[in-house]
Structure 1
Amino acid sequence: MKDITEKIEIHHPDKAVDTGAYSAGVQVGEWLFVSGQGPLDLATGEVIHGTIEEETLHTLSHIQKIVEAAGGSIDNIVKCTVHLENINDFDRYNVAYASFFKGIKPARTTVQSVLADGIKIEIDAIAIIPKKS
């Protein structure tokens, strides 16, 4: 059995280029902490600009793949923190966000933030992934 304090780095399975000095995810025991994700093309590291709805779903798909790489699913996500470049996009982002999650939606905080590279949204997440017996 692994020590619960052991940190395991979780990589995005599709990420081909380094986009910063951070881990996509860090797992400690059953807890998975997913770094802020944005609407990036993971082959090039370039931003994929689109509507707030498109950028929201693209960003959430990155989070989903990181959680799945750790052995979980989107149902394991318990908390998201969302940074919107423009809080006036809230209603449209909220519809797209709500469409992504089925069942119990994660707890969530949404704030307006200054974001890099012209992205409209950045999302980080916390998931609990029970160990398989």
Structure 2
Amino acid sequence: MNSISEIASPDAPRAIGPYSQAVTWGGLLFVSGQLPLDPISGAIVSDDPTEQLAQCLKNIDAIARSAGASINHAVKTTIFLTDLSTFPQLNERYAEFFSKPFPARACVEVSAIPKSAKVEIEAIIALP
């Protein structure tokens, strides 16, 4: 029987609410939505959406590494944006973090993200 285990990385921002950075279950790592926060200062890294996306992915990678995986093991991501018109630039930056086969992905525009961020990303990662 599978059990749920919490994963936390000191190299990613702490959860800002009653949730885990990530949990494992059945060979998968479910990473909570990551904001573009610097893990040390807790501040949003930049006003630039592409820099925010990069920090979200760095945070996801740090959490994945704490579970013995990496962002390269991602099987699904969901990107939340406050302005879908930035999609082309974000798509180019996103491609810098992944190689084929790319993870499955959804990308949606939302009205707001916590801490007034412009980007938030969640991920499902296969554990090696």
* Same-fold call, TM cutoff 0.5: yes
What is the DSSP-based 3-state SS (H/G/I as helix, E as strand, rest coil) of the residue aligned with 1:91?
A: helix
Residue 31 of structure 1 pairs with residue 18 of structure 2: no
* Unaligned runs of at least 5 residues, structure 1: none
Structure 1: distance between partners of 2:71 and 2:56 = 13
Within-5 A mapping of 1:56-67: 56-67=53-64
Contact kept? 1:19, 1:45, Cα under 8 Å? no
SS at match of 1:100: coil
Query: Which of 101, 107, 111 does residue 98 from structure 2 map onto?
Result: 101
Instruction: Kindly report which structure 2 residues correspond to 1:92-131, keeping only aligned pairs within 5 A, or say none.
Output: 92-113=89-110, 114-130=112-128
Q: What amino acid is aligned across from residue 118 of structure 1 in structure 2?
A: S
Q: Mark the structure with the bigger radius of gyration.
A: 1
What value does the CA root-mean-square deviation take over the aligned residues? 1.5
Structure 1 residue 75 displacement after superposition: 2.0
Q: What is the aligned residue count?
A: 127
CA distance in 1, matches of 2:89, 2:47: 13
- Give ranges in structure 2 of 5+ residues lacking alignment: none
Aligned to 1:85: 82
Question: Could you tell me how far 1:16 is from its partner in structure 2?
Answer: 6.7
TM-score, normalising length: structure 2: 0.91
After the TM superposition, which parts of structure 1 deviate over 3 Å for at least 4 consecutive aligned residues? 15-18
Which amino acid is the alignment partner of residue 116 of structure 2? G
Q: What one-letter code is carried by the residue in structure 2 that aligns with 1:47?
A: I
